[in-house]
């Protein structure tokens, strides 16, 4: 027995602002990713290989918030991340702050398999990509006209369509191979108690400080976690916060939500600053 599941991002596109043609295109993109992963499982591939193959298809499809077509930063650049876990061994690999790696999920796999690290960030991650022979592209490759127009509307205050402000969650895949191995089954931090509070939002984007402190979107705002996954605190904004990222001098945390772009000064510095 083997199986695979994919998703095109957390949140939901507004039915009102999504045409039948657009919905068909999204469904076709998901089907293509599903078929790519399933075909590998049929040939006896490991679950991890199948899941990565599926995510690569989504990263290459400009409709989804991953790779080409990813949501842009405030300065108009694409900064990408990805993570992967082997459910059999519980080994993991992750990358963040990428600007030139065509398929971030492939580099996350290389971090897991060919380095002593769990996460690599920014310039160091891209140097590792170069040494590993991973395909690099210009940042312009990732920046689509749709995402640039969304950013311009958000920055000039004219974003009215719901689809401009939500559904910024990235993609994912999980697979079960014929040997019973599953990708990604270790729980790092449980936010079930916050969901029970009926706070808006779900876990999605994250960023890391130089001391290892993790800032991640969660119900009601941003959770602050230790590098071991212990909850240290929460930044409450009462919004379905989609993502967070360090900017400026590295001590400013930017937050994006359904109808808000906010920034907070912190006493820690983001990785790479």
Share of the chain residues as helix, strand and coil, in percent rounded to the nearest 5: 30, 25, 45
Is 105:111 a contact under the CB 8 Å cutoff?
A: no
Write down the catalytic residue from 89, 144, 170, 192. 170
The helix/strand/coil state of 114 is: helix
d(CA 168, CA 232) in angstroms, rounded, equals 25
pLDDT score of 256: 85
d(CA 49, CA 53) in angstroms, rounded, equals 6
pLDDT score of 186: 52
Q: Which ranges in the chain belong to alpha helices (H)?
A: 20-42, 47-60, 104-114, 122-132, 145-155, 192-196
The rounded Cα 272 to chain-centroid distance in angstroms is 18
Q: Is 192 a catalytic residue?
A: no
- Angle, vertex CA 251, rays to CA 137 and CA 194, nearest 5: 90
Pick the CATH number of 192-265 from 2.30.30, 1.20.140, 2.20.25, 2.60.40: 2.20.25
pLDDT score of 181: 75
Residues of the chain with pLDDT under 70: 10-17, 159-168, 182, 184-187, 195-198, 258
Structural domain spans, the chain: 3-176, 192-265
pLDDT score of 167: 46
Strand order, beta sheet including 214-218: 206-208, 214-218, 221-225, 231-236
Reported as half-sphere exposure (CB side, CA atoms, 13 A), residue 101 has a value of 33
């Amino acid at each position: 027995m083997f199986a695979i599941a994919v998703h095109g991002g957390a949140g939901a596109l507004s039915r009102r602002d999504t045409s039948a043609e657009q919905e068909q295109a999204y469904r076709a993109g998901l089907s293509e990713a599903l078929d790519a992963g399933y075909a590998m499982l049929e040939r006896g591939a490991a679950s991890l290989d199948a899941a990565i193959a599926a995510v690569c298809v989504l990263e290459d499809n400009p409709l989804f918030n991953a790779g080409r077509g990813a949501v842009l930063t405030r300065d108009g650049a694409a900064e990408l991340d990805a993570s992967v876990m082997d459910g059999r061994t519980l080994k993991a690999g992750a990358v963040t702050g990428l600007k030139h790696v065509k398929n971030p999920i492939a580099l996350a796999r290389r971090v897991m398999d060919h380095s002593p690290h769990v996460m690599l960030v920014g310039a160091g991650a891209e140097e590792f990509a170069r040494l590993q022979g991973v395909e690099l592209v210009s940042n312009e490759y990732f920046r689509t006209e749709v995402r640039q127009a969304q950013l311009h509307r958000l920055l000039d205050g004219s974003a009215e369509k719901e689809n401009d402000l939500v559904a910024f969650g990235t993609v994912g895949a999980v697979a079960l191979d014929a040997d019973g191995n599953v990708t990604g089954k270790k729980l790092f931090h449980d936010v079930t108690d916050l969901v029970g509070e009926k706070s808006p939002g779900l876990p999605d984007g994250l960023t890391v400080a130089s001391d290892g402190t993790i800032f991640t979107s969660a119900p009601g705002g941003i959770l602050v976690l230790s590098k071991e996954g212990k909850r240290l605190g929460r930044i409450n904004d009462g919004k379905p916060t989609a993502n967070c990222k360090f900017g400026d001098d590295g001590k400013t945390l930017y937050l994006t939500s359904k109808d808000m772009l906010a920034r907070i000064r912190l006493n820690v510095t983001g990785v790479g600053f």
